[in-house]
A and B are shown apart, each in its own frame.
Chain A
């Protein structure tokens, strides 16, 4: 079954304790992305990756890191989490059409993060 998986699904942590949220896709997609979703603000893009070792900042990258060492995996790293990073996080992947257009994004089930 084609899918995007994220782990953990729920996480409660404390300020400053480094954490990693994993994301994996089994569709051989080139493009992967991380979003955060907050009430009234919609989905905002944190980082994206066009392929292995190619990443770039989205609109809200501060406080986050990513890496893309394998095509299927795109982990999100919070080196020193703060309470304002409490949010619902989604990973997504997509294949790339000709002419730099994208097909639809497939989203993971989400990770609800609470930073105390």
Chain B
């Protein structure tokens, strides 16, 4: 069964304290891995898509990387406005490629 697990569930950082969020997945084949940011009371907002192991994408203080079994979202020198819940989702490539599987998210709190 396809599964997506995110860790940690919650992360508290001081402003400027870099860290990484993890998304591990078990799918029959990966067609795409997506990272989203979700603010309280709002719908998820797209950040990155990764398609193959070794791929990296960057946007401001965020960098996403992908291996064959997991993805990391690295946050460099975070600011309070980076506080949000970060979600990852995978698209299977073999049996259910029209379905998406989401992790339960990492809630990030950046203190000034």
Write the residues of chain A forming the contact surface with B, with a CB cutoff of 8 angstroms: 4, 31, 33, 35, 40-45, 48, 50, 56, 58-59, 90, 92, 100-110
Contact = CB atoms under 8 A, between A and B. Distances in A.
A104 B46 contact: yes
Interface stretch (B14-22, B65-73, B93-101): B93-101
Interface of B: 4, 31-32, 34, 36, 41-46, 49, 51, 87, 89, 91, 97-105
Contact of A101 (B31, B45, B102): B31
Contacts of B101: 45, 59
A50 B98 contact: yes
A58 B38 CA distance: 22
B46 A102 contact: no
Contacts of B98: 31, 48, 50, 56, 100
Contacts of B32: 101-102
Which of A41, A43, A103, A109 has the most B CB atoms < 10 Å from its CB?
Answer: A43
Contacts, number: 60
Q: Give the interface SS of chain B, mostly helix, strand, loop or mixed.
A: strand
A45 B46 contact: no
A98 to B, nearest CB: 12
Contacts of B97: 100
A58 to B, nearest CB: 6
A11 B80 CA distance: 32
Given A43-B89, A101-B91, A107-B43, A33 B100 contact: yes
A4 B46 CA distance: 14
Contacts of A44: 102
B42 A109 contact: yes
A100 B31 contact: yes
Contacts of A35: 102
B100 A90 contact: no
Contacts of B44: 43, 90, 105, 107
Nearest to B35: A104
A33 B36 CA distance: 16
B38 to A, nearest CB: 9
Contacts of B91: 101-102
Nearest to A100: B97
